[in-house]
Chains A and B, each alone.
Chain A
Amino acid sequence: MSNDAERNAQHWAKTRSLTIFILILWFVFGLLLPWFAKELDTIVIFGWKLGYYFIVQGSLIAFVVMIWYQNMRQDAIDREFGVSDE
């Protein structure tokens, strides 16, 4: 049982680090970049003002990628500790 408890603690520590990492990315794309839209708009790439681009598309793509990446990593963590349910 104590082995299990230790295993679970390690599993949770890794899960938590991954979650914190994702939440930092979430903060950057969800709040930080839109906050500085004015400054980013001075940069134009491929016909896009950058501040506008992130808000209407870039951040959205980042959110999708973030979730898929997190799930891939989380699946690996679950398997590593033998607690996956699939």
Chain B
Amino acid sequence: MAVQDAPQGAKFTDRLGLVYGLYTIGFLVFFALMAYLETQGFQAKTIGILFLMFTIAIYAIIGYLSRTMQAEAYYVAGREVPALYNGMATAADWMSGASFVALAGGIYFGGYPYLGFIIGWTGGYVLVNSLMAPYLRKFGCYTVPDFIGTRYGGNIARLCAVIILVVASFTYVTAQINATGTIASRALGIPFEVGVWFGLLGILLCSMLGGMRGVTWTQVAQYIVLIIAYLTPVIWMSNKQGFGMIPHFTYGEAALRVQELEAQYGLQKAATAVAGLKELTTPHFDPQGGLDSWKFATLALCMMTGTASLPHILMRYFTTPTVTAARRSVGWSLFFIFLLYFTAPALATLTKLQLLDPNLATSVIGKAVADVQALEWVKNWSAVGYLAVQDQNGDGIVQLNEFFMRPDIVVLATPEIAGLPYVISGLVAAGGMAAAMSTADGLLLAIANALSHDLYYKIIDPKAETSTRLVVARVLLVVIGAAAAFVASMKLTGILGAVAWAFCFACSGLFFPLVLGVWWKRANTAGAIAGMVFGFGAGTWYLYMIYNGLMDPVWSIDHLRFGIIGMPVSLVAMVVVSLLTPAPSAEVQDMVDRTRYPSGDTILDAKH
């Protein structure tokens, strides 16, 4: 995998199919070897460690081979990433530890309201494609604040964009490093606080030497691992249950059966709650209309607009060779993301059926408490406090509300629940690690690049040499990574809450300034600044008031969807202030015109 600077770079992109084909085969061979070792009596723990170490070592090698000292390669991977591969890299960048580890568990326990995340995190790409990606690519910027700074002019607009980017991405990255810490600590048997630093080390190995180029090629590798790891247990389980090779199109009946069983057992709160764990109380799918629909739509809308505003995603589309390729790669991105997202509800449904359906050997509900407590996987997960079976009504039978689980473990525990060999659990741990690492890499790079390019180079020292800029970028990467690991080690936020906040911060402050920058020529500097300051300010203020209980939520808009407050404020402020101040110069309007068609030079030249 010779990703050297200059001439070989082009060669490497010609051979991508071969390189990643061999890599995939190599990974499958490794998987088969692990399965063989398991039959030879190797301990589950050893296999888990080997899985993690092997995959991280591969990422580190790719990261090392992608090292560079050129600005174009460091910031935008030399703009030579083909659409298909950029799609895979974006999918890995996008699907975080939360998507991989927590999403199916959220659906398992959350029902209809939670499914807003599924719609939101896929539908957002329609907005990315329609409103953002091709136009930002035509601009030729290195970072998202670079677009804001050039389109609207002036350091204040650029600085506002940098601040919003840092707040949104930092909130998100702490959640990712938290996830790497959780997985590493479980698989390697080290304390969480140490696991966090271990995770950070892996993340930096991918990104530090090669910047965006290193991250791109590791993300492609990480996507391959994570999608294999996600699909394998579901397909295996489905075959065992008789839902066919591809369960996705047939599990509708499983969902109906789950609903039947839920009605039969009855969904009731537990007599005594267990701290940190949940019993199943929300129906699998039971929309009530009215307020329920409103909550669904507001959550989905925040996630969709947030998707279209999050810089670590948008900057992936700066790496394609052409504007047309940028669009095409959005199509690939969503296709690759879709593979996981349309599997998550299938996984949640089939796992629930495993536990609930008395006709299946794996079921636990309705069985004798002593038998269930003696199950190997129940013992394992109970020992670490992630699961509990308590006979609260004293009848000796496990009721639906006597089975407690941490939602996060549904994906990780599924192979064990379904009685699959441990090698599958090792695979799933490696997949979760790949998902969390790839997202953390993209986020850290987005922050460090914005600070090094927009704050240091464009605002503080425009005469800086390329080599100095790239050293500054790397120092920032380490410092920010360490800060994020430090915050993560304090366990301040739950994974999901922090992720939703990141989306709301991004859409409150950046959505309208980005969209209107392309779609409304009349938008000017003052308007954009007002849009960012008031939108971001209003959203943050609302979050503060709600989260600290200083105010009751307005129209059921809680802390997960505060973008619904921030966005309209941003839009109104931006339009009103733009109209009250002079129109942008003819030069700027001409620039907007040139952004709107693909042909011709980028707005910013390559060496800006």
Interface on A for B, CB 8 Å cutoff? 8, 11-12, 15, 19, 22-23, 25-26, 29-31, 34-39, 41, 44, 46-49, 51-53, 55-57, 59-61, 63-64, 66-68, 70-71, 74-75, 78, 81-86
Contact = CB atoms under 8 A, between A and B. Distances in A.
B325 interface: yes
Interface of B: 112, 115-116, 118-119, 122-123, 125-127, 129-131, 134, 248, 250, 252-253, 255-256, 285, 287-289, 292-293, 296-297, 300-301, 304, 322-325, 327-328, 330-331, 334-335, 338, 341-342, 345-346, 593, 596-600
Nearest to B257: A47
21 contacts: A8-B593, A8-B597, A11-B596, A25-B126, A26-B123, A30-B119, A30-B126, A31-B300, A34-B116, A34-B300, A37-B287, A47-B250, A52-B252, A60-B338, A64-B338, A67-B126, A71-B331, A78-B598, A85-B322, A85-B598, A86-B322
A11 B596 CA distance: 9
Given A26-B123, A86-B325, A52 B338 contact: no
A78 B597 contact: yes
A34 B119 contact: yes
The 6 closest A-B pairs by CB, nearest first: A48-B252, A30-B123, A56-B345, A83-B597, A37-B287, A85-B598
B118 A70 contact: no
Given A71-B331, A86-B325, A47 B253 contact: yes
B289 A38 contact: yes
A57 B346 CA distance: 10
B293 A35 contact: yes
Contacts of A29: 123
Contacts of A47: 250, 252-253, 256
Given A31-B301, A37-B112, A56-B345, A26 B322 contact: no
Given A31-B297, A70-B129, A57 B342 contact: yes
B252 A49 contact: yes
A14 to B, nearest CB: 11
B606 to A, nearest CB: 15
A71 B255 contact: no
A19 B131 CA distance: 8
A55 B119 contact: yes
B323 A59 contact: no
